[in-house]
Structure 1
Amino acid sequence: MTPAQAAAAALLTPEAVRERAAELYALGLEDGLQAWHLRPERLDAAADLVAAVVRDRYPDLRVPPHTRWRHLLPDGLSTLALIAARLDQDPAALLRARMDLITLSVLLDAGAGMGWRYIDLETGHCHTRSEGLAMASLAMFARGDFADDGHSLRADAARLAGMTEEALGRGFQAGPDNPLAGLEGRAALLRRLGETMAAAPAVFGQVYPPRPSGLIDGLTAEIAEGALPARAILIALLRHLGPIWPGRAVLEGVELGDCWRHPGIRRADATNGLIPFHKLSQWLAYSLIETLEDSGIRVTGLEALTGLAEYRNGGLFLDMGVIEPRDPALLEAEHAPGDVAIVEWRALTVALLDAIAPRVRARLGLDEAAFPLVRVLEGGTWWAGRRLARERRADGGPPLRIVSDGTVF
């Protein structure tokens, strides 16, 4: 590996996310950002709100981790029970099915738009946003829509590689009267996932034909002292799923995924100006960790992962005034994910989540071991951001208007 390739590979780590976000945060403390003023003195008020939300949602302070399973449960409980029953309670088969399901559900969870609705055909319940996307993906998986044979509880590479916008739209009940933001991008993402897995059978198909859960066979080599490091899970996802992300930066042949440019990031190597976030990959890592732990596999080092640079966490800090626009018109304009304003906002979100976590713990009387960042998010910052959005905007949307292709937010 050349020095440039090693530098590029280093961007596929949680350390790169945290370190480079902290650099833009430091620039914000000097009032040197292009789009935002940083008001750290308002962070305590934000922590007060988050702690109050935690106590309101979880009076016993027994907060689950912030993973995709929170959107699948409890409404998907009966469907998940049927999945387990169909697999005859085979623990190994159930783990692989759950890994396939959660991978697809996370990758399909990137902002639904304000008008989309999903009706659960079993219960008649109406779901929106992340919860709706979760229930739709669960129903498709349970029907076998992602399996080669059209009925098994799998996500097969060949079936995903042929996924059309029309087929996905049917599963998500999307149409002219029920538009789903980024539908075309989601279908394309699944096709690239299928193609990537088919092209890497040594990674995804060591035991069975290529499927997302094949990743577990390589991860077992990372187990040390009976535990799997959380960092190893994320890095495996970043390295092996890099090709699925559309139109992103490639450096020395390394697919960088959710990685963007900002002039405030300065390096003397090929990574100059680059800042990664890996939002969906970290969301998937957190979700796979819960899946593995539920199956009896111990995961350690959860603190290595970072907070998620997405619009609920970021919206919390904007709505609480911790971040202020230099130009108020910024809040009315539409932005692409690579715009400097969005890159700065996401970087500040990652750094501010690290800053607010100990404040929230202090207010709850908990330490990091009992209340790690993944529980602060769930308790927590994500829900506080959603609550503020509902209070301040009629549609409950984020404070910034972002053009989504269904693969970032």
Structure 2
Amino acid sequence: MTVPAEAAEAAQVLRTTTAVRTRSALLLERARAGESRWFAVDDDALAVAADDVATLTRTRFPDLDIPLHSRWRHFEAGGVDRRADLDALLDGADSRERVRAMIDLTVISVLLDAGAGADWGFVEDGVRYTRSEGLAVASWHAFLAGTFSSDPGRPLQVDAAALRTLTVDHLAAQLQVSPANPLVGLDGRVHLLRRLGDALADQPEFFGGAGRPGGLFDSSSAASGVVDAHDLLAALLTSMSRIWPSRNMIGDVPLGDCWRHDAVDGPGLTAGWLPFHKLSQWLTYSLIEPLRWAGVTVTGVESLTGLPEYRNGGLLLDTGVLRLRDPADAERAWTPADEPVVEWRGLTVALLDELAPLVRARLGADAAQLPLACVLEGGTWAAGRAVAQQLRGGLPPLSITSDGTVF
């Protein structure tokens, strides 16, 4: 029988980026030694990937003034200054309410940001946006319309009461979903948001009496003017791990985006578990700018890892850094729990850490000028998308059956 205290201690170990990095690096070391069942590593191809990323980064940001990898980049889709529109709508709100509203928006939009599928899009003013940009623009408009607020007089918020009663039909209407415009994982997204509503309501120590994601501003050290990025991630993982639908648990403690791989070692109950916390880290990256706009100093951003999703991971497969031992595996449909997907994601984390300094060298920048968050934005995510578009019309190199909550 798993002792509750031991389960909680193991979960805390797995809710660290140190665990993400060190365990991913072990898988990379193993793959380089030829011990992986699924992947071979071509270290010479890292130079090819670095060349591609550096070239695209220089094209997109000639002056190397690169913003952080963040959901707020997608809110800029089409060159539209949507933040200015939100600022105008929040005119008259005090500084704390403004940052709470931006946190509310960021949280809801990031949680909706999983693979949309190739057939869905969102139309704004005659322009059709797809994939991550489409979901960003769609969630932006849903937020402005008060979809996630239970108070008609305060539409620009997200609260527990509204999320707990959210229906598939209501969200579908806001995201322009129809038989002719199908969104992958719609039901999964609604279930995720409803579980978020329960978490908001049950934890006033994190989210305040109103049960708002923006309550994190008041419950964290951010309200004092300084917050560490890893502390922010830890608060998100502690308060939100319960919302994820995976059955990955130690005892009765939910682990979230943390998966089994028999080759991963670790002490005690953590053995065999490989954590990623992709959406939670994406959310942490995406909260940095709203906090900075509110005058908060965010430290320790470099502790966060690269994001193990299909754009970054796809770049590594498509440039030959990773090679499937059995090419037929590219034709199969996998789930996030399948070992090759877990390993692909772990290898992605570890290789992004090795790719970043190669990209910096090609651009003549150091880690202070070009932290990992900027390499991702510059960067690896865009390069992965570009090569996927060239090779497969945008589809990833591995087919993942998505419920809208991981990929």
Q: Secondary structure of 2:274's partner?
A: strand
- Which moved further from structure 2: 77-86 or 177-186? 77-86
Partners of 1:301 and 1:404 in 2: how far apart?
A: 32
**CA separation of 1:180 and 1:186: change in aligned 2, threshold 3 A:** same
**CA separation of 1:178 and 1:221: change in aligned 2, threshold 3 A:** closer
Note if contact 2:258-2:276 (Cα within 8 Å) is conserved in structure 1. Answer: yes
**CA separation of 1:35 and 1:53: change in aligned 2, threshold 3 A:** same
Matching residue of 2:229? 230
Q: Deviations over 1:257-308 (max 9, x none)?
A: 0000001112341111100000000000000112111221010111110000
Note if contact 2:23-2:265 (Cα within 8 Å) is conserved in structure 1. Answer: no
**CA separation of 1:222 and 1:78: change in aligned 2, threshold 3 A:** closer
Query: Aligned-pair distance for 1:254?
Result: 2.4
Note if contact 2:28-2:347 (Cα within 8 Å) is conserved in structure 1. Answer: yes
Partners of 2:65 and 2:214 in 1: how far apart?
A: 29
Q: Secondary structure of 2:259's partner?
A: strand
Matching residue of 2:350? 351
Match of 2:11 among 8, 11, 14: 8
- Which moved further from structure 2: 176-185 or 36-45? 36-45
Q: Secondary structure of 2:44's partner?
A: helix
Note if contact 1:79-1:142 (Cα within 8 Å) is conserved in structure 2. Answer: no
Q: Deviations over 1:191-214 (max 9, x none)?
A: 000011111112101xx5111011
Matching residue of 2:391? 392
Partners of 2:82 and 2:354 in 1: how far apart?
A: 39
The within-5 A match list for 1:319-358 is 319-358=318-357
Q: Deviations over 1:287-331 (max 9, x none)?
A: 011211122101011111000000000000000001001111011
Partners of 1:91 and 1:130 in 2: how far apart?
A: 29
- Paired residue type of 1:152: P
Q: Is 1:107 the counterpart of 2:111 in the alignment? A: yes
Partners of 2:89 and 2:121 in 1: how far apart?
A: 29
Q: Is 1:92 the counterpart of 2:91 in the alignment? A: no
Q: Is 1:18 the counterpart of 2:21 in the alignment? A: yes
Query: Aligned-pair distance for 1:222?
Result: 9.0
Partners of 2:285 and 2:191 in 1: how far apart?
A: 24
Matching residue of 1:130? 132
Structure 2, gaps ≥5 residues long: none
Partners of 1:50 and 1:209 in 2: how far apart?
A: 44
Q: Secondary structure of 1:141's partner?
A: helix
How many aligned positions are there?
402
Query: Aligned-pair distance for 1:91?
Result: 2.0
Q: Is 1:184 the counterpart of 2:187 in the alignment? A: yes
Partners of 1:82 and 1:382 in 2: how far apart?
A: 27
Partners of 1:79 and 1:4 in 2: how far apart?
A: 44
Q: Is 1:67 the counterpart of 2:70 in the alignment? A: yes
Partners of 1:75 and 1:198 in 2: how far apart?
A: 36
Partners of 1:31 and 1:177 in 2: how far apart?
A: 46
Matching residue of 1:43? 46
For the aligned residues, what is the CA RMSD?
Answer: 1.5
Query: Aligned-pair distance for 1:3?
Result: 4.1
Query: Aligned-pair distance for 1:227?
Result: 2.4
Query: Aligned-pair distance for 1:79?
Result: 4.3
- Paired residue type of 1:331: A
- Paired residue type of 1:14: T
Partners of 2:82 and 2:156 in 1: how far apart?
A: 12
Q: Is 1:313 the counterpart of 2:312 in the alignment? A: yes
Query: Aligned-pair distance for 1:85?
Result: 2.1
Partners of 1:399 and 1:184 in 2: how far apart?
A: 25
Note if contact 1:9-1:254 (Cα within 8 Å) is conserved in structure 2. Answer: no
Q: Deviations over 1:140-174 (max 9, x none)?
A: 10111111024520001010011111111001111
Q: Is 1:257 the counterpart of 2:256 in the alignment? A: yes
Match of 2:176 among 170, 173, 183: 173
Partners of 1:76 and 1:95 in 2: how far apart?
A: 23
Note if contact 2:77-2:137 (Cα within 8 Å) is conserved in structure 1. Answer: no
Partners of 1:222 and 1:367 in 2: how far apart?
A: 31
- Which moved further from structure 2: 105-114 or 211-220? 211-220
Note if contact 1:222-1:232 (Cα within 8 Å) is conserved in structure 2. Answer: no
Partners of 2:101 and 2:37 in 1: how far apart?
A: 46
- Paired residue type of 1:200: Q
Note if contact 1:248-1:259 (Cα within 8 Å) is conserved in structure 2. Answer: no
Partners of 1:80 and 1:359 in 2: how far apart?
A: 34
Matching residue of 2:32? 29
Structure-1-length-normalised TM-score: 0.95
The within-5 A match list for 1:233-312 is 233-312=232-311
**CA separation of 1:326 and 1:169: change in aligned 2, threshold 3 A:** same
- Which moved further from structure 2: 105-114 or 264-273? 264-273
State the identity as a percent: 50
Q: Secondary structure of 1:212's partner?
A: coil
- Paired residue type of 1:357: A
Q: Is 1:143 the counterpart of 2:141 in the alignment? A: no
Partners of 2:141 and 2:223 in 1: how far apart?
A: 33
Query: Aligned-pair distance for 1:60?
Result: 0.6
Structure 1, gaps ≥5 residues long: none
**CA separation of 1:149 and 1:76: change in aligned 2, threshold 3 A:** farther
Note if contact 2:77-2:133 (Cα within 8 Å) is conserved in structure 1. Answer: no
Q: Deviations over 1:195-238 (max 9, x none)?
A: 11111112101xx5111011111212796xx5211110101001
